[in-house]
């Protein structure tokens, strides 16, 4: 009887140890995916310091001395918070989902390659102005700075995908470098995703031709009465809409500077990268600069493309700042 009890105790002990070990491993792997949101990171390629701040909602606000640093910083911020989404997104656009998720998606990949999103994206890229190409390359450099620092130490989704596909182990799937073509291709994917009103647009074209006056067609689609109720009243606390309290106070900041080493310190802050003069701020609502989506946690497409804003000035909401300088200065 004593032997049975001892055996049961030993078995229970082993089970507990195994459970704790597995939980610890999962927790450790999962924690790899958390972004570093305080202190200073040294990133190669920056011309000067860049400042990243986050409001209460976690929305990143990026301020830099020039567009190159702005886009590079944005690429790094996107990668540290959204790399799994970005990896899946570029595989969608390239028709490479089956490599990770199995033969069930071969037909999907064939369909996407038949549509030729990546081929047409390359044509768009070839036709872009040199300064836009420079912005896309700077963004890619920022993403790759994060990839190079974290390949072999990626979070749980990459580990599961790597093990399932045979393309990785406990360090996760090995990520390829991000390219400007990846960004341009995702623009095609997002355009397709937002094309749900295709039938309505075709109807309007046909109706215009039949009715002879676009105003008559417009009458078939009356605007929403501005006096009618809305789902979320403007200014409601926590709504994120006009007049809401989100972002009004309590932003956090941190620093990122140029250099090859990486490291953060300080309190609960986001990377800040910047000097005080000649700022090109990026906010969650950039005007005319779809290439510089300034919110690292906003819903929607990643990454966006487009022209720089002619004014080179986008509003930013900041209540605190931490300065930094590139290494060696």
Tens of pLDDT, residues 218-234: 998 888 888 877 776 66
Q: Provide the pLDDT confidence category of residue 17 given band limits of 50, 70 and 90.
A: confident
CA 24, CA 33: separation in Å to the nearest integer?
Answer: 15
pTM for the predicted model, two decimal places: 0.62
Say yes or no to pLDDT of 150 above 80.
yes
First-to-last C-alpha distance (Å) of the chain: 74
* Separation of alpha carbons 283 and 213, rounded Å: 40
Give the confidence band of 327 by pLDDT, cuts at 50, 70, 90: very low
Distance CA 70, CA 212 (A): 48
Residue 40: pLDDT band with limits 50, 70, 90: confident
In 3-136, beta strands by DSSP E? 40-43, 50-54, 60-64
Span 176-228, pLDDT tens digits: 999 999 999 999 999 888 888 888 889 999 999 999 999 999 998 888 888 87
On the CB side of 298, CA atoms within 13 Å amount to 19
């Amino acid at each position: 009887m004593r032997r049975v009890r001892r055996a049961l105790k030993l078995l229970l002990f082993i089970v507990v140890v195994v459970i704790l070990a597995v939980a610890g491993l999962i927790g450790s792997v999962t924690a790899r995916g958390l972004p570093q949101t305080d202190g200073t990171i040294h990133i190669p390629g920056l011309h000067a310091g860049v400042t990243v701040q986050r409001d209460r909602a976690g929305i990143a606000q990026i301020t830099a001395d020039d567009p190159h640093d702005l886009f590079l910083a944005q690429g790094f911020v996107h990668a540290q918070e959204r790399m799994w989404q970005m990896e899946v997104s570029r595989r969608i656009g390239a028709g490479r989902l089956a490599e990770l998720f199995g033969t069930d998606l071969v037909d999907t990949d064939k369909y996407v390659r038949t549509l030729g999103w990546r081929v047409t994206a390359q044509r768009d890229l070839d036709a872009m102005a040199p300064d836009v190409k420079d912005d896309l390359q700077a963004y890619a450099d920022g993403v790759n700075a994060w990839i190079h620092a974290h390949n072999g130490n990626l979070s749980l989704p990459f580990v599961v995908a790597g093990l399932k596909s045979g393309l990785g182990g406990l360090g996760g799937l090995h990520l390829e470098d991000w390219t400007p073509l990846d960004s341009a291709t995702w623009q095609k994917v997002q355009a397709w995703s937002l094309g749900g009103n295709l039938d309505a647009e075709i109807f309007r074209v046909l109706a215009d031709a039949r009715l002879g006056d676009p105003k008559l067609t417009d009458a078939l689609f009356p605007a929403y009465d501005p006096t009618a109720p809305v789902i979320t009243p403007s200014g409601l606390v926590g709504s994120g809409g006009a007049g809401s309290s989100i972002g009004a106070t309590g932003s956090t900041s941190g620093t990122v500077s140029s250099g090859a080493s990486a490291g953060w310190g300080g309190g609960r802050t986001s990377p800040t990268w910047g000097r005080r003069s000649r700022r090109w701020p990026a906010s969650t609502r950039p005007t005319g600069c779809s290439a510089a989506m300034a919110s690292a946690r906003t819903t929607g497409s990643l990454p966006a493309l487009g022209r720089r804003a002619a004014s080179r000035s986008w509003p930013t909401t900041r209540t605190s700042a931490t300065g930094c300088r590139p290494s060696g200065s």
